């Protein structure tokens, strides 16, 4: 047990775990992308980035966060926080060994090369950050990967902030999370886990902490969000063991003698659970707990021993970093009281996660016609959340105005028209089991075969066709008001006609209209359903320089009028081939929006499902016999704790079935899932009961098919035959071989032939040739049956 905690500087009473890094007008995105395009030098990029960091410090100071030292997080990143931590340890995959300088360091250009790939060298893989829609770059670590402290930009950022008069709190992904988020490098022996390299990683962190301290950091925030999940290959006991080992070493140096900064471990995204015990035992100086999704720790450990909080600062993450609703300050204050009751050395107020999941400020939405002022008054983006943290730290006696306003907002929101609508509630309240199921698959299959008359191995695409510059310009002109609604619609109809003619010429069996009218597969529906609002400047980072603008689902959802029906019927009128209707499913609409927090997700999902069910009924009545409902986010929302999986899969699968089960037996329902980890959620995919399921199996050369067959999946399946994430054109022979291979596992009446995702990010040239090869290969294999 270390004695350093007693000499630790006081942790600020009000802090945030992180702030949006992209800039209120996406300044960072623009600066980084113009550098990539060769329009600016590295020096110019660094100057823009420094200006943005300065603006952030000044803004946070203006908001009142600068009153206490170490309250302002230093969490800037040019690309991604996991990548930054990986590079600080000098970790690069073998194929990129040359980006590391002789002293082990990796410069900014090298860091971009790893992130974006170069020629034949594929970039680091990206994967989902916890249960968010942010994607990080996955470190690749093998038994021989060189690991050693290689310098970190944070050190210079601490000095930069100091020069501006701010003692900042540098933020770094912690060692245990970094290794849990990593993957074993190619060629690592069976049974190797990146966690096996913990000791070397921790050594490097010791050097990093010393460097930060020398630069003037009094506190460091080590983000350990992985501790809130139990879905890792390592067992919870192994994870606790790793925490004990890592933090036992990191706390060895004395804070008092300047050996390291005081350590605040931040565990956002859920409950920390028993992983708190090794942190307490190691003597970290502060622990930030997610009290939005997680819970106030119990007073005693699972073994019955009373937990000793007397030497730690507990930071209550009561302001939601991951959603946009104004905090109910009374409720948050009550949670903080529970936390205080644990008898910690001190307690503070913070956010549940970094605020980089939410936009900069609601003030930017003034005058947005798509966001009613009343709804805007219920929201808190990053800047407003800083105000909430400060109000909670001051307490209800002092921050009387903020608490009074919070009560007003809660009352206004609960009573506002549109939040709870009787006609919507009556529908979700009177659902019967029959609302969730169709006829037996055998009956449907026979009925569909009779009306659709498709060949064996039918060919189709996933929905979108290339989004050309012309389409994007038309959308921009519509927004700018230089193109009228009517002119825009005609331009899009012309595009639909072109796409239909192309597909006929290519000889595809099931056509699509190409989705030219959709800016985004979720926002498009949000704009056309009641209960959603859309922001103008509400960009949040999705990965690297890429941003998304999630819609805000604030009220009861219904469909005022048909959305896709005119597009589908127009497309269908141009051809005798079947045209597939195209919708986004309820789970994906929820996953890629900010969702209301005043009711369970299942209830909200059912409302969206019923709106889609209406759309599907109208498509069917208009003669559209095949309808695809995309659920690429089904796996994305999977909870971080295994114990919560069953309940999640129950409501998510049910909402898809509710949306799709109102149709006649002969109407064929398709779904598309953007991943191929079929096994993990196999029961859920089976439970969707779609007639045809397309999945992204191209990159893995369809290795999953035998497992799919073994599991007894008997409905239609379209394992993507080529990877649309790359411009590479597959040859006819290659596709034919894949199909013959697939027929070894799945029957000829079951196999569909399609690319592995939508084509919107591709160019026409490669798309046309690829699809030509795909059709030719299907015909070749079909002829040999
Ligand atoms: N139908 C959508 C498209 O083709 C599906 C996209 C996705 O799966 N993300 O673009
Ligand atoms: Zn996809």
Q: 740 and 781 in contact (C-beta within 8 Å)?
A: yes
Return the sign of the alpha-carbon dihedral for residues 438, 443, 447, 448: positive
- pTM score above 0.90: yes
Measured in angstroms, how far is the CA atom of residue 585 from the centroid of ligand 2? 13
Residues paired with residue 157 on neighbouring β-strands, in sequence order:
none
Nearest-CA residue for atom 6 of ligand 1:
758
pLDDT at 711: 86
Q: What is the mean pLDDT of residues 199-208?
A: 98
- Ligand 1 test: best mutation among 542, 567, 632, most atoms within 8 Å of CB? 632
322 has catalytic annotation: no
Distance from first CA to last CA of the chain, Å, rounded?
Answer: 72
Q: What percentage of the chain carries pLDDT values higher than 70?
A: 99
Rounded Cα–Cα distance for residues 280 and 339 (Å): 15
- The CA 755 to ligand 2 mean position distance, Å, reads 9
The ligand minimizing its distance to the Cα of 720 is 2
Count CB neighbours of 783 within 10 A.
Answer: 7
Query: 312's torsion region: left (phi>0), alpha (psi -120 to 50) or beta?
Result: beta
Tokens describing residue 492: 């899009």
Would you give the DSSP letter of residue 76? -
* pLDDT grade for 7, boundaries at 50, 70 and 90: low
Phi and psi of 547, rounded to 5°? Answer: -130, 155
User: Contact at 8 Å (CB) between 548 and 498?
Assistant: no
Higher pLDDT, 704 or 662: 662
Average pLDDT over residues 133-146: 96
pLDDT at 664: 98
Each residue's pLDDT tens digit, 509-563: 999 999 999 989 999 999 999 999 999 999 999 999 999 999 999 999 999 999 9
- Which residue among the candidates 11, 513, 645, 725 is catalytic per the annotation? 725
Please give the number of the atom of ligand 1 that sits closest to the Cα of 521.
Answer: 2
666 and 623 Cβ atoms separated by less than 8 Å:
no
Q: For residues 245 and 141, what is the distance between their CA atoms, to the nearest angstrom? A: 19
Residues 136-157 as b or e (16 or more Cβ within 10 Å = b):
bbbbbbbeebebebbbbbbbeb
Strands in 447-605 per DSSP E: 530-533, 540-543, 546-548, 551-558, 580-584, 593-595
On average, the pLDDT of the chain sits at 95
Residue nearest to atom 5 of ligand 1 (CA): 758
- Asked whether residue 333 carries a pLDDT value surpassing 90, the answer given is yes
* 3 pLDDT above the threshold of 70: no
Q: Please determine, for residue 119, whether its predicted confidence score (pLDDT) is greater than 90.
A: no
Confirm if 248 and 276 have CB atoms less than 8 A apart. no
Pocket test for ligand 1, best of 461, 463, 520, 546 (most atoms within 8 A of CB): 463
Q: What is the pLDDT of residue 109?
A: 97
**676 confidence band (pLDDT: 50, 70, 90):** low
ipTM: 0.99
Q: What is the pLDDT of residue 728?
A: 87
| Pocket of ligand 1 from Cβ distances under 6 Å | 462-464, 515, 521, 582, 630, 632, 672, 674, 757-758, 760
27-38 confidence digits (pLDDT tens):
999 999 999 999
Nearest Cα residue to atom 10 of ligand 1: 758
Q: Pick the more confident residue, 724 or 160.
A: 160
Contact 364, 331 (CB under 8 A): no
Residue with tokens 């986004």: 584
Ligand 1 nearest-atom number relative to CA 584: 1
For the record, the structure tokens of 777 come out as 């290969």
What's 713's DSSP letter?
A: -
pLDDT in tens, 372-425: 999 999 999 999 999 999 999 999 999 999 999 999 999 999 999 999 999 999
Question: What is the mean predicted confidence (pLDDT) over 450-473?
Answer: 96
CA of residue 779 to ligand 2 center, whole Å? 24
DSSP assignment letter at 421: -
C-alpha pair distances (Å), 748 with each of 411, 509, 716, 753, 773:
59, 16, 10, 11, 19
User: What confidence tens digit (pLDDT) does each residue in 76-105 have?
Assistant: 999 999 999 999 999 999 999 999 999 999
Q: Do the strands 73-74 and 169-173 form a parallel or antiparallel pair, or are they unpaired?
A: parallel
CA 372 to chain centre: 26
724-769 pLDDT per residue, tens:
888 889 999 999 999 999 999 999 989 999 999 999 989 999 999 9
Residue of 695, 700, 740, 736 whose CA lies nearest to 717 = 695
Count how many Cα atoms sit within 13 Å of the Cα of residue 694 in the half-sphere of its side chain.
26
From the centroid of its chain, how far is CA 781?
39
Per-residue pLDDT at 572: 98
Please name the residue whose Cα sits nearest to atom 3 of ligand 1.
Answer: 758
* pLDDT of 2 higher than 60: no
Annotated binding site for 5-methyltetrahydropteroyltri-L-glutamate: 29, 133, 546-547, 592
The arrangement of strands across the sheet holding 262-267 comes to 73-74, 169-173, 219-223, 262-267, 286-290, 313-319, 346-351
Mean predicted confidence (pLDDT) in 611-618 = 98
Distance CA 523, CA 528 (A): 9
Q: Which atom of ligand 1 is nearest to the CA of 760?
A: 10
> Does the pLDDT of residue 460 top 70, yes or no?
yes
pLDDT tens-digit readout, 616-652: 999 999 999 999 999 999 988 899 999 999 999 999 9
According to DSSP, residue 274 is labeled G
Q: Which atom, in ligand 1's list, is nearest to the CA of 582?
A: 1
């Amino acid at each position: 047990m270390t004695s350093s905690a007693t000499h630790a500087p006081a942790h600020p009473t009000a802090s945030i775990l992180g702030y949006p890094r992209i800039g209120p007008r996406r300044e960072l995105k623009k600066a980084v992308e113009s550098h990539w395009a060769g329009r600016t030098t590295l020096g110019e990029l660094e100057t823009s980035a420094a200006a943005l960091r300065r603006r952030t410090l000044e803004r946070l100071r203006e908001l009142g966060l600068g009153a206490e030292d170490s309250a302002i997080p230093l969490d800037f990143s040019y690309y991604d926080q996991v990548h930054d931590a990986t590079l600080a340890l000098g970790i690069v995959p073998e194929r990129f060994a040359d980006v590391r300088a002789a002293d082990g360091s990796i410069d900014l250009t090298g860091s971009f090369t790893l992130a974006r790939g170069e020629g034949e060298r594929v970039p680091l893989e990206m994967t989902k950050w916890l249960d968010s829609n942010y994607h990080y770059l996955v470190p690749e670590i093998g038994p021989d990967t060189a690991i050693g402290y290689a310098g970190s930009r944070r050190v210079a950022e601490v000095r930069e902030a100091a020069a501006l008069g701010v003692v900042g709190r540098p933020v770094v992904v912690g060692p245990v999370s970094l290794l849990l988020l990593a993957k074993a490098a190619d060629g690592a022996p069976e049974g190797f886990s990146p966690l096996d390299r913990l000791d070397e990683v921790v050594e490097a962190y010791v050097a990093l902490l010393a460097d930060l301290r020398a630069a003037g950091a009094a506190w460091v925030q080590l983000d350990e969000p992985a501790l809130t999940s139990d879905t890792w290959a390592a067992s919870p006991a192994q994870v606790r063991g790793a925490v004990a080992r890592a933090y036992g070493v990191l706390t060895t140096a004395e804070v008092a003698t300047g050996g390291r900064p005081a350590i605040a471990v931040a565990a956002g995204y859920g409950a920390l659970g028993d992983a708190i015990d090794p942190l307490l035992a190691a003597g970290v100086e502060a622990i930030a707990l997610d009290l939005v999704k997680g819970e106030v720790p119990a007073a005693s450990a699972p073994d019955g021993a009373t937990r000793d909080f007397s030497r730690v600062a507990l930071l209550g993450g009561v302001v939601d970093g991951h959603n946009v609703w104004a905090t109910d300050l009374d409720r948050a204050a009550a949670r903080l009281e529970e936390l205080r009751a644990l008898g910690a050395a001190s307690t503070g107020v913070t956010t549940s996660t970094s605020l980089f999941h939410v936009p900069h400020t609601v003030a930017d939405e003034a005058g947005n016609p798509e966001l009613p002022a009343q709804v805007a008054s219920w929201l808190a983006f990053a800047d407003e959340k800083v105000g909430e943290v400060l109000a909670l730290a001051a307490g209800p006696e002092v921050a009387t105005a903020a608490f009074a306003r919070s009560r007003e907002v809660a009352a206004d929101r609960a009573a506002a028209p549109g939040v709870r609508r009787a006609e919507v509630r009556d529908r979700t309240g009177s659902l019967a089991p029959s609302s969730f199921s169709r006829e037996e698959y055998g009956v449907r299959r026979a009925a569909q075969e009779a009306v659709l008359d498709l060949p064996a191995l039918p060919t189709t695409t996933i929905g979108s066709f290339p989004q050309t510059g012309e389409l994007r310009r038309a959308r921009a002109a519509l927004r700018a008001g230089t193109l009228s609604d009517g002119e825009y619609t005609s331009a899009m109809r012309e595009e639909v006609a072109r796409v239909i003619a192309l597909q006929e010429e290519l000889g595809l069996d099931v056509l699509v209209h190409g989705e030219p009218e959709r800016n985004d597969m979720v926002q498009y529906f949000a704009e056309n359903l009641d209960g959603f609002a859309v922001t103008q400047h509400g960009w949040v980072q999705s990965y690297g320089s890429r941003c998304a603008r999630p819609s805000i689902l604030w009220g009861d959802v219904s469909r005022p009028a048909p959305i896709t029906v005119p597009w589908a019927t127009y497309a269908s009128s141009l051809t005798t081939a079947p045209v597939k209707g195209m919708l986004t499913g309820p789970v994906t609409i929820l996953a890629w929006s900010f969702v209301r927090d005043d009711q369970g997700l299942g209830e909200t999902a059912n409302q969206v499902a019923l709106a889609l069910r209406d759309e599907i009924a109208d498509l069917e009545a208009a003669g559209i016999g095949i309808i695809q409902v995309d659920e690429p986010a089904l796996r994305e929302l999977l909870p971080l704790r295994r114990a919560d999986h069953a309940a999640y899969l129950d409501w998510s699968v049910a909402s898809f079935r509710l949306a799709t089960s109102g149709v006649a037996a002969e109407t064929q329902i398709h779904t598309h899932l953007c991943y191929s980890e079929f096994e993990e959620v196999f029961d859920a995919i089976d439970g969707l009961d779609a007639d045809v399921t397309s999945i992204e199996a191209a990159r893995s050369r369809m290795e999953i098919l035998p497992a799919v067959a073994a599991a007894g999946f008997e409905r239609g399946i379209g394992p993507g035959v080529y990877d649309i994430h790359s411009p590479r054109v597959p040859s006819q022979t290659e596709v034919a071989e894949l199909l013959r291979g697939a027929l070894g596992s799945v029957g000829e009446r079951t196999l569909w032939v399609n690319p592995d995702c939508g084509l919107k990010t591709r160019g026409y040239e490669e798309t046309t040739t690829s699809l030509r090869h795909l059709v030719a290969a299907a015909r070749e294999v079909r002829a040999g049956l």
